[in-house]
Amino acid sequence: MFSYNGLLFRFVLFPIIGICPSLYISVLYSIGIPETVGRNSMTITGFILIGFSYIPSLQYLFFSVFLVTYIVTLAGNLLIIVLTLADPALHNPMYFFLRNLSFLEMCYTSAIVPKMLRNLLSGDKTISFMGCAMQTYFIFFLGGSECFLLASMAYDRYVAICKPLHYPVVMNRKVSTGQAAGSWLSGLLVYFGLTSMVFILPFCRSHEINHFFCDIPPLLKLLVCGDTSRNEMAVFMVAMSFVTFPFMLILMSYICIISTILRMPSEEGRRKSFSTCSSHLVVVTLFYGSGTIMYLKPNSSYSPETDKFLSLSYTVIKPMLNPIIYSLRNKEVKRAFWRMVWRRRFH
């Protein structure tokens, strides 16, 4: 008998953590990358992030906008964390995953925006070789972890809507904690491998990265010596094999969820069920939509300036929108907020 729960835990979430590092190693050696190890230490010590310096008259405007956005992002996600911890009504798996997502978004935007703000304000566009490598790693590690965290959240919604009587047993504390831990750990080794595949290559074309952070596409296209098509294909294959699994889990979850909702006899029941997963569906669409446009578009359409604004959508805008989406569309979060406000006022 088909078991979605068994498929998730036995064949996807845990095996993928062990499979992907092995896949990375095999791809790494098949394209001959180890021969280039160590060359970068002799050819380059740092990079220059061009960012938005091509519009010098707007540097302070960009700084102000990105600073406000960053503060709103941190405040909004921190508020979600505090609310879901402080209010007993929100002590369930759904808000446990939301708390993890909010913390992840704070880390994600903090890996990019502070350096970008410093560059805009000081005019110093440099970043060390190790700093660039670390920024690339954390961006991809956190992005990969978010893929699996969104899949865990989709599975939680699947159980809540399609198997409501089994929800307390299936989504117990041990299971939800294991899913969250697996989401965080899944990206550690894989994206260390992906980052290494790029930064052990020799950089000799230029020291300038036409971007506001260290991203793999501009590094491969603009800086690396020789033909990088094999390296790009290797990075693409490993990244896609890692991202496809959680996406398929999300897709399977929502096929089951929508099918169950459409079979509900009560219109009120359909509306209530859809409202419990609509916020998550919006976040998934923003995450995968912006990432797909950015990383899967044809090479012929590559444009540094277009890529910068596309990158802003998922590195700056999306982390700010997540708490807004979840709070505006979630009555429980809004009620928890007002309960906290009233407790503060009368104590």
Give the model confidence (pLDDT) of 186-226 as tens digits.
Answer: 878 777 877 887 787 777 767 888 889 998 878 877 666 66
Q: What is the pLDDT of residues 233-274, one digit of tens each?
A: 777 777 777 778 899 999 999 999 999 999 988 888 888 888
- pLDDT surpasses 70 at 30: no
* Mean pLDDT score of the chain: 80
In a domain, residue 339? The reply is no
- pLDDT surpasses 70 at 313: yes
Q: What is the pLDDT of residues 100-144, one digit of tens each?
A: 999 999 999 999 999 999 999 888 889 998 999 999 999 989 988
- pLDDT surpasses 50 at 275: yes
pLDDT over 90 percentage in the chain: 36
In a domain, residue 341? The reply is no
In a domain, residue 338? The reply is no
Q: Is pLDDT larger for residue 186 or for residue 231? A: 186
Q: Answer yes or no: are the C-beta atoms of 69 and 313 closer than 8 Å.
A: no
Torsion of CA 288, 294, 299, 300, to 10 degrees: 110
**At residue 172, what is the residue type?**
N
Amino acid 15: pLDDT: 37
Amino acid 196: pLDDT: 81
Specify the range with the lowest mean pLDDT, choosing from 49-63, 83-97, 152-166, 234-248: 234-248
- pLDDT surpasses 80 at 232: no
CA atoms within 13 A on the CB side of 300: 0
In a domain, residue 342? The reply is no
In a domain, residue 77? The reply is yes
Q: How many domains does the chain have?
A: 1
Q: Which long-range contacts (CB under 8 A, 24 or more apart) does 58-62 make?
A: 59/120, 59/123, 60/120, 62/120
pLDDT tier at 170, thresholds 50, 70, 90: very high
DSSP 217: H
Q: Which two tokens stand for residue 271?
A: 């509306």
In a domain, residue 336? The reply is no
Rounded mean pLDDT of 283-303?
77
Amino acid 138: pLDDT: 93
Please give the span between the terminal C-alpha atoms of the chain, in angstroms, as a whole number: 55
CATH of the domain at 313: 1.20.1070.10
Q: Is pLDDT larger for residue 293 or for residue 111? A: 111
Amino acid 192: pLDDT: 81
In a domain, residue 343? The reply is no
CA atoms within 13 A on the CB side of 337: 15
Domain limits at 171? 4-330
In a domain, residue 335? The reply is no
